[in-house]
Chain A
């Protein structure tokens, strides 16, 4: 099933043309890895999907981003963002307790019942593989967790809202290899229920977890194909150069 359909997408920040004429489809229940050198438009692409790019004063776009055949520009932005969760590059806990971090999104939907909140928080923390480590200290500040734990907390926080899509923006850039492996495992597990789009600088990570891989260069989508094809028989010379480490 097609989750996203993007047609003729252009994005500008002031005079900078960040994304150029991108057309693509993203299937549900798979992991799409987005790779490319820095400043190639990957993160902008991600933030255009959940309309976080709108926050920039100089943001302009043309083209259409459809989620399940509905133009995202026409949707209520809060509903859209509830459907599309996001995990950021650095672990970004809110300055609240562990419990309140996970409960935040649900609370903002108006849920006040303590019992419901507790159930949902536990469920989300279980899914984020963090429950066992934090179940006895839910009221501590989230800043007391280690970096890897914080990032899994952020994943759990995103899951608690029960999104359909999860955007990962270089989620392992600040983590050590062991924490990275845990986050990657979580992603593979999550794809059963969610559509996942992973922006990464780490080509190997894309190869490990992605069902499909998209290669961005200077704002253009150079190539999008099954991950094994991209890594074994890329159609475009630039893709091959990037994957083999000639630039980037």
Chain B
């Protein structure tokens, strides 16, 4: 007969092993990038134009491009996402339409990022004739992060106790006043968390911007939203695969900046979330 205690020990060992197989490499990746990337970081690297076919100089235009893209994406996605979340949390009833909307959100979240790139190319670049531009790229990224913002905002709105709504309504406030003055202010931390996570996602994605905005090498800053721009993730892709003989330091440095940008955003989101949980008044 097998000994159940021993079986349990062996099984738990394998479960632990599986966990370590995931978590340890994550730690290693972060450590390697910090270890090799950090030495490359200095003011010049962050503020200079790339030179000598991206084999020297800095990554300033890529940083600026990414900031523009992310800002554009959020300007587009936050209002729509927030209103959609309000619809789902405050207005929708359990019916076929709501079910369809939820399914659409799930699907939007599941569409491969490169397909977003195709879509952005077909709709914004070609059909609307925006060309490869910050506008096209931002809109594409905006649609891509819409489900993240909707889902997080909706959770935040739904976590506001329904008794607050009843009290507000019972005092003669209209439905919108109740949402505006009671529900929204108390959901802001959650909405902010979702928004920042969306920002992080938009900052890190490459495939959606490949054909909608990203410039291979453009050693100047964009002048308008109809200009092409460099972007950090695409720049990293370019210098690691398309340009031979790039100094390791520049590659790791770029990877470091991108990773730091994304992780700092996530960290901020986590901090907001935990601080808010502690402060929660109900």
Q: State in angstroms the CA–CA spacing of A94 and B178 once bound together.
A: 11
- Do B166 and A94 touch across chains, with their CB atoms under 8 A apart? no
Query: Could you tell me the distance between the alpha carbons of A154 and B171 in the complex, rounded to whole angstroms?
Result: 10
| Nearest-Cβ distance from residue A85 to partner chain B, whole angstroms | 7
Give A141 to B282 CA distance when docked, in angstroms.
12
Contact present for A108 and B93 (CB under 8 Å): no
Proximity string of chain A (96-119) to chain B, C-beta cutoff 8 Å, 1 when within and 0 when not: 000000001101110000000000
Whole-angstrom CA separation of A51 from B44 in the bound complex:
66
Q: Is the beta-carbon distance between A105 and B163 smaller than 8 angstroms?
A: no
* B281 touching A105, Cβ below 8 Å: no
Name the one of B172, B177, B186 contacting A161, with C-beta atoms under 8 angstroms: B172
Interface string of A106-146 (1 = CB under 8 A from B): 01110000000000000000000000000000000101000
Chain B proximity of A105: nearest CB distance (Å): 4
Chain B CB within 8 A of A95 CB: yes
Q: A55 touching B163 by the CB < 8 A rule?
A: no
Residue in B closest to A109 when the chains form the complex, CB atoms: B172
Task: Tell whether B31 is near chain A: CB-to-CB under 8 Å.
Answer: no
Answer yes or no: B170 CB below 8 A from chain A CBs.
yes
Identify which of A23-31, A74-82, A176-184, A225-233 touches chain B. A74-82
| Other-chain residue from B166, B172, B186, B282 in contact with A108 (beta carbon distance below 8 A) | B172
Asked if B164 is at the interface (CB within 8 A of a chain A CB), the reply is yes
Interface residues of B in 83-142 (CB under 8 A from A): 93-94
Given contacts A55-B166, A92-B163, A94-B164, contact A108 B171 (CB under 8 A): yes
Contact A104 B168 (CB under 8 A): yes
A55 surroundings in chain B (CB, below 8 A): 165-166, 169
B residues near A104, Cβ cutoff 8 Å: 168, 171, 173, 181
- The verdict on A157 contacting chain B, using a C-beta distance below 8 Å, is yes
Closest residue on chain B to residue A157 by CB atoms: B171
**Alpha-carbon separation in the docked complex, A85 to B169 (Å):** 10
Contact B167 A92 (CB under 8 A): yes
B174: CB under 8 A from chain A? yes
Q: What residue in chain A is nearest B186 (Cβ atoms)?
A: A95
Could you tell me if B174 and A78 are in contact, using CB atoms closer than 8 angstroms? yes
In the bound complex, CA of A104 to CA of B173 (Å): 9
| Cα distance A89–B171 in the bound complex, in angstroms | 15
Number of A-B contacts (CB under 8 A): 66
A161 and B171 in contact (CB under 8 A), knowing A94-B182, A95-B281, A141-B281? yes
Query: B173 contacts A105, CB within 8 Å?
Result: yes
Partner of B172, one of A57, A78, A92: A78
Q: Mark B160-202, 1 if CB is under 8 A from A, else 0.
A: 0001111111111110010001100110000000000000000
Interface pair A81/B170, CB less than 8 Å apart: yes
Flag if A105 contacts B94 (CB, 8 Å): no
A242 surroundings in chain B (CB, below 8 A): none
Which of A81, A109, A157 is the one whose CB lies under 8 Å from B169? Answer: A81
A105:B169 contact, CB within 8 angstroms: no
Q: A95-B281, A108-B181 are in contact. Are A88 and B94 (CB under 8 A)?
A: no
How far apart are B249's CB and chain A's nearest CB, in angstroms? 51
Task: Tell me, rounded to whole Å, the shortest Cβ–Cβ distance linking A161 to chain B.
Answer: 6
Residue of B94, B186, B281 contacting most chain A CB atoms (<10 Å): B281
In the assembled complex, A86 has its CB within 8 A of some CB on chain B: yes
Report whether B164 and A95 are in contact in the complex, using a CB–CB cutoff of 8 Å.
yes
A residues near B174, Cβ cutoff 8 Å: 78, 108
Is the pair B163, A88 in contact by a Cβ cutoff of 8 Å?
A: yes
Indicate if A151 sits at the interface (CB-CB under 8 A).
no
A90 to B163, CA, bound (A): 10
- Asked if residues B164 and A92 are in contact (CB atoms below 8 Å), the reply is yes
Complex Cα distance, B241 from A73, in Å, reads 69
| Beta-carbon nearest neighbor of B167 in chain A | A92
Q: Does A158 sit within 8 A of B, measured CB to CB?
A: yes
Q: Which residue on chain B has the smallest CB distance to residue A142?
A: B281
* Chain B residues near A213 (CB-CB < 8 A): none
11 examples of A-B residue contacts, CB within 8 angstroms: A55-B169, A81-B170, A85-B170, A90-B163, A92-B164, A94-B164, A95-B281, A95-B282, A108-B172, A108-B181, A154-B167
Q: Given A79-B172, A92-B163, A95-B282, 12 more contacts at CB 8 Å?
A: A52-B166, A52-B169, A82-B171, A85-B170, A94-B167, A95-B182, A95-B186, A104-B181, A105-B173, A108-B171, A108-B177, A161-B171
Q: Hey, which bits of chain B sit against chain A, CB under 8 A?
A: 93-94, 163-174, 177, 181-182, 185-186, 281-282
